[in-house]
Structure 1
Amino acid sequence: MIGAMLRRLLLVLVLGAALAQSVPALAQDAPTADDYTTFDTTALQIDDLVAKAQIDDERLTAMRAEMVKWRTTFSTAQASNADQITTVKNQIAALGPLPADGQTEDAMIAKRRGELTEALAKLQAPVLAATEAATRADSTIAAIDKLIRERHADKLLRLSPSALNPVNWPTAVSMFRWMGQWIYDETRWRFTRPMNVDQLRDNAPLIVVLLLAAVVLLARGGAWMRRLTYWLLTKTHMRGRNLISGIVSLGQVVLPFAGAVMLYLAMERASLFGPIILSLFETLPAVVLVIFLTRWLAHHIFPLDPDEESAIGLGTEGRAEGRLQAVLLGISVALYDLVAAWIVPRASNFLGGAATNIGADRAQQVAQATDAAISVIVVPLQIFAALALFRLGRILRRESAKARSGGEGAFRFELIYWVSSAAIAISVIAPVLGVIGYVSAANALIWPAINTLSLFAMVVVLQGFFAELYVTIARNPDARKDGLLPVIAGLVFTCAALPLLALIWGARVVDLADLWTSFRTGVSLGGVRISPTSFIILVAVFGIGYAATKLVQGGLKASILPRTSLDQGGRNAIVSGVGYAGIFLSALLAITAAGIDLSGFALVASALSVGIGFGLQTIVSNFVSGIILLVERPVSEGDWIEVGTTSGIVKAISVRSTRIQTFDRSDVIVPNSDLITGRVTNWTRFNLSGRVIVPVSVPFTTNSRRVEAVLREIVEAQPLAILNPPPVIALMGFGAEVMNFEIRMIIRDINFQVAVRSEINHQIAERFQAEGILFSNAHRDYLKRIADEAAAEAEKKAEEQAAQEAVAMFMAPAPHPLAAPDDENLDDAGAIDAKPLKSGSVKSSPVQKPKDPRA
């Protein structure tokens, strides 16, 4: 099917060239009365044949192509007299509106109006006739397309004899037997002709050379190119070796294909084979191309070298099996191409015995036998291809499922996952349909699915080649992942592959041609026709205007504005204003040059204006506020401003918002409307000088005059402080046990307020310490420290006195036992016995004094 796809691509290119050449010719000659008569006769005949539905698809296609030519002619004629019609309409409009009922018009004006109206009718007559004929041609083409689609649908849903039925097997065997018999008889007859033998003798040297070259290229051409590619990748270190090796690797496809072509030429030169066998050799190059191209793509998707990256980013697991299944798919597609291009067109001849005049019954039998034989041949190919497609789909799905969870390339792996899942589903459904008997439906599923995977791989490989080319030119290995051009190239390749994808899934070349014609004609949107030509003009004019605007902005910013007395904010405002005006004028000129009439959008715009106004009122408010900021310039870039709780430096002013960089290096995006309607403090807009207030608190015990004098000396010594007006040292009031002073001074640059405040505080601390001046709560800390020290000293003295008394008591002599105790001791000793006893208590024994050891 890849060979068929390439043939269809060639048809598309040829058709495009034919259309490109035919359009100017059609535009030169306007249809005449004879042309309209011929068209009417042809259209009637075609309508009659289409209504009977008794003609084949080939003749239907030819009739459709003829009607397409007529439609193109009439469509071109619809634009005739356009300038004259516009001129006459403007002249009629210049005469003013028609008079109302009951009113008369000047005779000269009425006469002129009648003449212009008659002239307009004559000018519009060919246009109306061409429009009517083009409409009729469209209806005839639509009827032909409907009939062809119905036939294709019937063919897809047709139930053929099942390949599982053993009754149908002898029919296929009989077809191959008749085919072999025909080839044998044809070749034997050729060999018996002396003229053919003489021609073989004359062309023998050329035939031998072609055969030897064909055998060598088919057998060893691919291997030689693989070795050369491997040598370029591993044995050389030249720049761009990946790109060169990729191009050289195409030899793995080109050389075997050239060998197949040489084999066909050798067989043709031999003059010993008939049309049947020659047609087989003629199909051989396409078969070889399909097999080797699939093999080449498989080696890029599943590389041999584990260190080589896959074209779609797959891992190293399952590469060998992936290559094998891809090659098996290529072989199955090549075999089906061979069956479709060589066996199917001749199957009825083989089974019918090449009879030219047979009865209806015999023809029906031959058709049934042909259908059965084709089913027996094709269904095994479908099953074989389905098995390879199923295994390849599982490999792709497993590898993509591992990498689609996130990160770089997640979308690509997600796409591969769903494509492989669809391939698995088709590989199950298609052979089931084929075995049941829906062979055409199975063919419409299995082979387009395989060709879609091949097309997908081709697009990926081409994008990889372009990325290698970009890396080689940019001399930056990281450009493959970071560059924008490879991504754009991939998008271009994908868009270019869409027509091929449509052809793969059953679209016709004429359908693509009609789509291209409609695309060139344009689409009507809101009463305005937008065509590719107008779109290209629109983009080109806007691009030129935008580039000119950038050049003017660059010239203003680099050469003109620096020589003026404007500050940086004013320069930025002028540059931004020129940019907005340039973009607006570029868009206006582009729309005018493209011929787009925006009056058709007036009703739509008016209907949507209310809703858009409510929905976008905040954005519009910010946009207008941005323009006001650029014009009035209350805030400019580089200003230090405060908006609400945000304070920082203005870094950029756009049409919607303003970016402020705070002093902790974070960016805050503020809507422009907040800067216009809210309260904004601009510290540096018109003057860099600003006031700094430093509060100082001292206790009541401090001499206030002395504090004022010290603070004044400190402030007047600051280099950034302005002495006119002089700094103010104010006693602001009294607090809880403190006096509150404030230093109020104006410095030359408010941007240094933090540094000035810090330096003043350092000097205050140094001078107060030197002068013995305490701060607001320092006296409380001092008194508390004195009290704590006195308490600690008293406790220490009490402990020392107690220790001295204890030592004195221990060193004193004991009293004599016969000595009479003093009254105080007696009172203490007899105090125990003197106490009354409670009920149930134990009576204490008298205190026994210890004996004197000297007694």
Structure 2
Amino acid sequence: MRHFIKRLSCLLLVLISLSLPAIAQDATKTGFDYAQWQTTATRAEGIIKDAVASTPALGTLRATLAQFRSQALDQKDVNQARIKTLESQITALGAAPADGTSEAPELAIRRTTLNSQLADARAPGLAAQEAYQRADGLIGELDQIIRVRQTNLLYARDGSPLNPSYWSPALTAVTDFTDGVKNEISDAMSSEAQLVQTRQQLPLLLGLLIIGLVLLTRARRWLLAGFGLVTRRSGPKVKEARSLLFSTTQVIVPLVGIWLIVRAAELTGLLGLRGEMLLSTLPLIGAYVFGALWLSHVLFVDDETPPSFLDLSEMAQKSGARLTAFMGGVLAVGFALNHIVVEAGLTAQTRAVLLFPVIVAGGYLLVRMGLLLHEKTGRSTEADDENSLQDRIYGLIRRVIITLGVIGPVLAAIGYFDAASLLIFPTIKTLALFGTANVAFRFLLDIADSLTRSATEDTAEQDASEKPATLVPVALGLTLILVSIPILALIWGARVSDLREAWSVVSDGFQFGNRRISITDFLTFAIVFAIGYTATRLLQSTLKTSVLPRTRLDAGGRNAILSGTGYLGLFLAALAAITSAGLDLSSLAIVAGALSVGIGFGLQAIVSNFVSGIILLVERPIKEGDWIEVGAYSGYVRKISVRSTEIETFDRATVVVPNADFISGTVTNWTHSSLNGRVKVPIGVAYDSDPDQVRTILTEIAESHEMVDHRFNVSVVFLGFGADALNFEIRAILKDVNWVLSARSDMNYEILRRFRAEGIEIPFAQRDVNLRNIDDLGAAIGKAVKSKP
């Protein structure tokens, strides 16, 4: 057995050694093929110079150049590890000798060898960088040619479809096309072999056709019936989301039926080139039609979905549903006719005649939709002014829709058919995109709400105004906007290659020092930092709920540990994220040096507060919940951060005090070491009062109060002889100094009651008023009385 294992090990070693050259060869093959690149680049330069190739051919060439550019970008950083090693070796040899001086022959030979190796190691990267710049420039030139052609196409003026001389050729072209389809079917049916093959496929054909027709015509009614059963068994918080999700099957199922019918027609073998061309348009035509029907229902009239986002009357909602459905029909007919024109090679004048009614219908529908939005903005403005921004947006959309709906048919009528098509069809598709995005937003918002809603809300409805504000709608809206931007660009004429170019620019990133920073680096940074942040929060939660309660630390110490853990965790998370993203922290030394100068001059106060905050968290002269007095403010400490401390005064006001004031100033902490504190109650009595009786009464009052700590003696101090009274003062230690005001008030009430009962007088100042010239005043009063009737 031992010999068998040895032989097996030797065999494995031999196989591995034999496979290494193949692996190395494969690795070499994955490199940049410079010979093929030179050939392709030279050919591209010639095509660009001639500028006679078709636009599709230019697009194919551009895709090839983009592939070479991507490969060159991957090769720009090749041999970096080897280059760093050689550079460190050359640095270790010291600086090269100046002119006129020499160094040891061994060092000179070694320096020359290393420089040669360094040049060889850098050569592939430099060549790849040159190839990248060349490919990028050629791609830019191709894009410029394509854009110029597209712009010229928009400004090109064909014949007007209103010219009667174009009607007869257009009708002839349509007749010839339909006759061609009929002839192809007749020729196929005249072939006995084809009929035999069709009969063999007949069971499958009939099955596909029947299933397709059922799905196309009857499935929607069955789906609605099944949906009623599902929603009746669902809770209220998931009914809306399930409604929208289920409604999408009203598009998917009919499209499956259309695909089955198309497949059945293809299996007959009776269709020629023209018939197959027509057949290939049916799935997309169905998508336009059924998509528009679905969108019209979920946006306007379907009772199983959430309320419409448009504040319209019932009549207007029905009108909006019809307009949306008709717009889908316009897109379907326009796509079918344009596909036939292109594939059949019909003239531009024939295309204008065939598509002009579609353009006019699309413009009319856009104008009607704009007027419908005008009713929405009018109703909202009359109701309130809170949605003024939304109303202005709707008003702008309304004006744009109406303007494009009028300009499009006018341009088509005078011969600018490509420009008219670019205005009408993309506008309808844009409205469909906005509507779909709104439906998706409502669906995702319902899902998020059902996931975050508490269990108590299942039985009790919560008013919308009472729901806590969250950033979930903002995040969902931003996500949908980002997803819609490339789709919107494609709708308005952008090519897929344009989107790839934009993504290439984003993914390639930008040069930062000796490293290229790309979007993947940002994603890596965000993911690693999020993981570190989450781990920090979990650690804080564990300390707060499981570890710290088992210790003897007070609340202030626990908060200090939790705060320190949070700051340390965030620092480590940021450090790990920066390192994972590949940023060289040594390059931050220059930034740190510049910051040190700024700190020395302009950031002294901030740094002082920061250091003071750390001292407060470590030494803890104050802690959260303490009653302190600092400066002119008195209140409870609510939060201690690294820069400032929040104090809640007894007036329920929040005072933010810089931490440096606690370290450099004087702070009175009433509850630092314990809750005990002394209460002082001054009182004055008349001079004829018995001091011993007063002392006895005051002592009894203080000792009988429930907040007085009897571990400490109560004292009544005879402060001295005042101008009007004998001054006494109660001094007692309370169990909780936070109750000092209530204790003083209770004692004053009791003092007043006892003194009145014992006949002890509390003196108060009296004022005498002396009137001069009383005789004159009496005479004036008498005279006034006599003059009265």
TM-score bucket (shorter structure): 0.7 to 0.9
CA distance in 2, matches of 1:260, 1:190: 23
- Residues 315 and 660 of structure 1, relative CA distance in 2, 3 Å threshold: farther
Aligned counterpart, 1:694: 681
The reply on whether 1:261 has 2:253 as its aligned counterpart is no
Flag structure 2 segments of 5+ consecutive residues without an equivalent.
1-23, 770-789
The reply on whether 1:178 has 2:165 as its aligned counterpart is no
CA distance in 2, matches of 1:30, 1:423: 52
CA distance in 2, matches of 1:467, 1:724: 63
Aligned counterpart, 2:12: none
Q: Give the letter aligned to residue 310 of structure 1.
A: P
Alignment of 1:232-251 (within 5 A): 232-233=230-231, 240-251=238-249
- The Cα of 1:441 is off from its aligned counterpart by 1.7
- The Cα of 1:138 is off from its aligned counterpart by 1.6
The reply on whether 1:544 has 2:522 as its aligned counterpart is no
CA distance in 2, matches of 1:218, 1:265: 14
Alignment of 1:149-164 (within 5 A): 149-164=147-162
CA distance in 1, matches of 2:501, 2:144: 15
Aligned counterpart, 2:4: none
Q: Does the 8 A contact of 2:47 with 2:53 survive in 1?
A: yes
- Residues 310 and 713 of structure 1, relative CA distance in 2, 3 Å threshold: closer
CA distance in 2, matches of 1:94, 1:65: 46
CA distance in 2, matches of 1:706, 1:309: 81
The reply on whether 1:193 has 2:178 as its aligned counterpart is no
- The Cα of 1:332 is off from its aligned counterpart by 0.4
- The Cα of 1:584 is off from its aligned counterpart by 0.8
Of 323, 343, 360, the match for 1:383: 360
- Residues 548 and 283 of structure 1, relative CA distance in 2, 3 Å threshold: closer
The reply on whether 1:727 has 2:711 as its aligned counterpart is no
Of 435, 455, 463, the match for 2:433: 455
Alignment of 1:459-478 (within 5 A): 459-470=437-448
CA distance in 1, matches of 2:214, 2:544: 69
Aligned counterpart, 1:310: 307
Aligned counterpart, 1:86: 84
Aligned counterpart, 1:442: 420
Q: Give the letter aligned to residue 764 of structure 1.
A: I
Of 512, 515, 531, the match for 2:499: 512
Of 110, 119, 122, the match for 2:120: 122
TM-score, normalising length: structure 1: 0.77
Q: Does the 8 A contact of 1:263 with 1:281 survive in 2?
A: no
- Residues 612 and 421 of structure 1, relative CA distance in 2, 3 Å threshold: farther
- Residues 119 and 308 of structure 1, relative CA distance in 2, 3 Å threshold: closer
Of 575, 584, 594, the match for 1:588: 575
Q: Give the letter aligned to residue 662 of structure 2.
A: L
Secondary structure at 1:579 match in 2: helix
- The Cα of 1:644 is off from its aligned counterpart by 3.5
Q: Does the 8 A contact of 1:303 with 1:309 survive in 2?
A: no
Aligned counterpart, 2:325: 327
Aligned counterpart, 1:365: none
Flag structure 1 segments of 5+ consecutive residues without an equivalent.
1-23, 349-369, 785-855
Aligned counterpart, 1:166: 164
- The Cα of 1:471 is off from its aligned counterpart by 5.2
CA distance in 2, matches of 1:699, 1:414: 78
Between stretches 741-750 and 227-236, larger displacement belongs to 227-236
Aligned counterpart, 1:653: 640
- Residues 265 and 671 of structure 1, relative CA distance in 2, 3 Å threshold: same
- Residues 561 and 228 of structure 1, relative CA distance in 2, 3 Å threshold: closer
Q: Give the letter aligned to residue 380 of structure 1.
A: P
- Residues 773 and 241 of structure 1, relative CA distance in 2, 3 Å threshold: closer
CA distance in 2, matches of 1:101, 1:87: 27
Between stretches 423-432 and 577-586, larger displacement belongs to 423-432
Aligned counterpart, 2:29: 29
Q: Give the letter aligned to residue 530 of structure 2.
A: G
Q: Does the 8 A contact of 1:692 with 1:745 survive in 2?
A: yes
Q: Give the letter aligned to residue 634 of structure 2.
A: S
CA distance in 2, matches of 1:620, 1:414: 47
- The Cα of 1:574 is off from its aligned counterpart by 2.2
Alignment size in residue pairs: 734
- Residues 541 and 308 of structure 1, relative CA distance in 2, 3 Å threshold: closer
Aligned counterpart, 2:348: 371
- The Cα of 1:391 is off from its aligned counterpart by 2.0
Q: Give the letter aligned to residue 263 of structure 1.
A: I
CA distance in 1, matches of 2:123, 2:405: 59
Q: Does the 8 A contact of 2:312 with 2:375 survive in 1?
A: no
Between stretches 689-698 and 321-330, larger displacement belongs to 689-698
The reply on whether 1:773 has 2:771 as its aligned counterpart is no
CA distance in 1, matches of 2:217, 2:397: 35
- Residues 746 and 292 of structure 1, relative CA distance in 2, 3 Å threshold: same
CA distance in 2, matches of 1:159, 1:608: 63
Q: Does the 8 A contact of 2:715 with 2:731 survive in 1?
A: yes
Q: Does the 8 A contact of 1:528 with 1:600 survive in 2?
A: no
Between stretches 498-507 and 702-711, larger displacement belongs to 702-711
- The Cα of 1:152 is off from its aligned counterpart by 0.9
CA distance in 1, matches of 2:108, 2:223: 85
Aligned counterpart, 1:283: 281
- The Cα of 1:618 is off from its aligned counterpart by 5.6
Between stretches 625-634 and 186-195, larger displacement belongs to 186-195
The reply on whether 1:498 has 2:482 as its aligned counterpart is no
Q: Give the letter aligned to residue 502 of structure 2.
A: L
Secondary structure at 1:96 match in 2: coil
RMSD, aligned CA: 3.6
CA distance in 1, matches of 2:582, 2:385: 46
Q: Does the 8 A contact of 1:653 with 1:659 survive in 2?
A: yes
- The Cα of 1:469 is off from its aligned counterpart by 4.2
- The Cα of 1:151 is off from its aligned counterpart by 0.7
- Residues 77 and 582 of structure 1, relative CA distance in 2, 3 Å threshold: same
Secondary structure at 1:302 match in 2: helix
Aligned counterpart, 2:44: 46
CA distance in 1, matches of 2:385, 2:514: 45
Q: Give the letter aligned to residue 435 of structure 1.
A: A
- The Cα of 1:100 is off from its aligned counterpart by 5.3
Of 389, 392, 397, the match for 2:369: 392
- Residues 746 and 620 of structure 1, relative CA distance in 2, 3 Å threshold: same
Q: Does the 8 A contact of 2:338 with 2:351 survive in 1?
A: no
Q: Deviations over 1:425-474 (max 9, x none)?
A: 33233333323322212222222222122222223323333344455556
Please say which structure displays the higher CA radius of gyration.
Answer: 1
Aligned counterpart, 2:778: none
- Residues 398 and 104 of structure 1, relative CA distance in 2, 3 Å threshold: farther
CA distance in 1, matches of 2:403, 2:763: 86
- The Cα of 1:568 is off from its aligned counterpart by 2.4
Q: Give the letter aligned to residue 734 of structure 1.
A: G
Of 606, 609, 615, the match for 1:628: 615
The reply on whether 1:743 has 2:730 as its aligned counterpart is yes
Between stretches 52-61 and 533-542, larger displacement belongs to 533-542
Between stretches 232-241 and 623-632, larger displacement belongs to 232-241
TM-score, normalising length: structure 2: 0.83
